[in-house]
Structure 1
Amino acid sequence: MIAVSDTITLKPISIDDQEKLFALMSKIYLPEYRHLWFDAGAWYMNKIYSYANLERDLATPNSSYYFVYYQCEAIGILKLIESVTLVEYKDRKSAKLDRIYLDPAFHGKGIGKSLIYWAENRLAANGHSFLWLEAIDTQKKALQFYEKMDYKICGTFELEYELIHPILRGMYRMYKSI
């Protein structure tokens, strides 16, 4: 376990954790994002949190994938990928905040903020000058959180998943100098 604070720890995810990951993300992702999908998110869950995809995620070079624990309870996930170029700033050594999801019951406790600061400090110590992420442009709470953490929008694009309602496919690419 990696201590982020007195109450927040990270546990690396292994392939043996696939069922636990799927169950946790069904609890966290679907209530917040099912409205985006024609099938209420079933296809996405089965694609992203399948055994085969977890194998690919764990094999991604320079990738760290964790369960987030708050007071010994698994309440989310965090995935970072180091040395991933930000399209808008190709000359900067960048890392990507690939996934951060927390159980909404734990929002407002400073957990997300602590995780972001921990990631920024770790990545800066590894020589990265930018941390970037992708966020759905209609998820206002998430965008407000990232903006409060000093992330700036640097690009836009659309998701190419056909099962997402077309009007909800917009994405922002956001970054922060670290």
Structure 2
Amino acid sequence: MHNKNRIAVSNTVTLTPISINDREKLFSLMTRIYLPEYSHLWFDAGNWYMNKIYSSVNLERDLATPNSSYYFVDYQSETIGILKLVENVPLVGFKDQKSAKLDRIYLDPTFHSKGIGKTLIHWTENRVASSGYTILWLEAIDTQEKALAFYEKMDYKICGTFKLEYELIHPTLRGMSRMYKTI
């Protein structure tokens, strides 16, 4: 099926908008991508989080969020991740600047080190800059050293920290870093 709403990010990377009818595909994909990388954070291996974040109710809310874009990431026509961008979200400490939040970006670990993440970050930065935003920001788990190193390599700087309040996350693994880049 050819999706005319598909966005070509590069010769090999495309984005396909997620719809409410994609919930099962999204849940299956994130089970394959999220759990191997993040199950160690959770007392229940991430089951509660998966059922909460990728439920029909939450997907409806995500899709109804104003200024939000939610995509499947395809690499050479294989779905390998997700990207969610929310525009017009102020960053704490930068309230006078027009900001957008990279709310979710997850890629299948078997596709890491192929430049896909870098390509997606550049596309996102260009998209929000062309809409007049001056800050792109995100949040990352502070124990995910590879993710933090990747964002730092992409010139993102830590501007704050906080703890996740989810009871099912191991208390020592709740730390989050808020990172931003002026674009």
Does TM-score exceed 0.5, indicating one fold?
yes
Q: 1:73 aligns with which of 75, 78, 84?
A: 78
Q: Does the residue aligned with 1:112 lie in a helix, a strand or coil?
A: helix
Q: 1:94 aligns with which of 95, 99, 118?
A: 99
Aligned pair count reads 178
Does structure 2 retain, via aligned residues, the 8 Å contact 1:88–1:155? no
Task: Name the CA distance, whole Å, in 1 between partners of 2:86 and 2:9.
Answer: 18
Q: 1:25 aligns with which of 20, 23, 30?
A: 30
Q: Does the residue aligned with 1:75 lie in a helix, a strand or coil?
A: strand
Q: Unpaired runs of 5+ in structure 2?
A: 1-5
Measured against aligned partners, the alpha-carbon deviations of 1:91-110 in whole angstroms (never above 9, x if no partner) come to 11000000000000000000
Q: Does 1:161 align with 2:166?
A: yes
Does structure 2 retain, via aligned residues, the 8 Å contact 1:65–1:77? yes
Partner of 1:5: 10
Q: Does the residue aligned with 1:114 lie in a helix, a strand or coil?
A: helix
Does structure 2 retain, via aligned residues, the 8 Å contact 1:151–1:175? yes
Task: Name the CA distance, whole Å, in 1 between partners of 2:93 and 2:87.
Answer: 17
Measured against aligned partners, the alpha-carbon deviations of 1:139-158 in whole angstroms (never above 9, x if no partner) come to 00000000000000000000
Q: 2:39 aligns with which of 34, 37, 52?
A: 34
Task: Name the CA distance, whole Å, in 1 between partners of 2:65 and 2:11.
Answer: 30
TM-score, scaled to structure 2: 0.97
Partner of 2:175: 170
> What's the % identity of the aligned pairs?
78
Q: How does 1:16-165 map to 2 (within 5 A)?
A: 16-165=21-170
Task: Name the CA distance, whole Å, in 2 between partners of 1:72 and 1:174.
Answer: 31
Task: Name the CA distance, whole Å, in 1 between partners of 2:59 and 2:19.
Answer: 8
TM-score, scaled to structure 1: 1.00
The CA RMSD over aligned residues, in Å, is: 0.3
Task: Name the CA distance, whole Å, in 1 between partners of 2:76 and 2:150.
Answer: 22
Displacement of 1:88 after TM fit? 1.8
Misfit runs of 4+, over 2 Å:
none
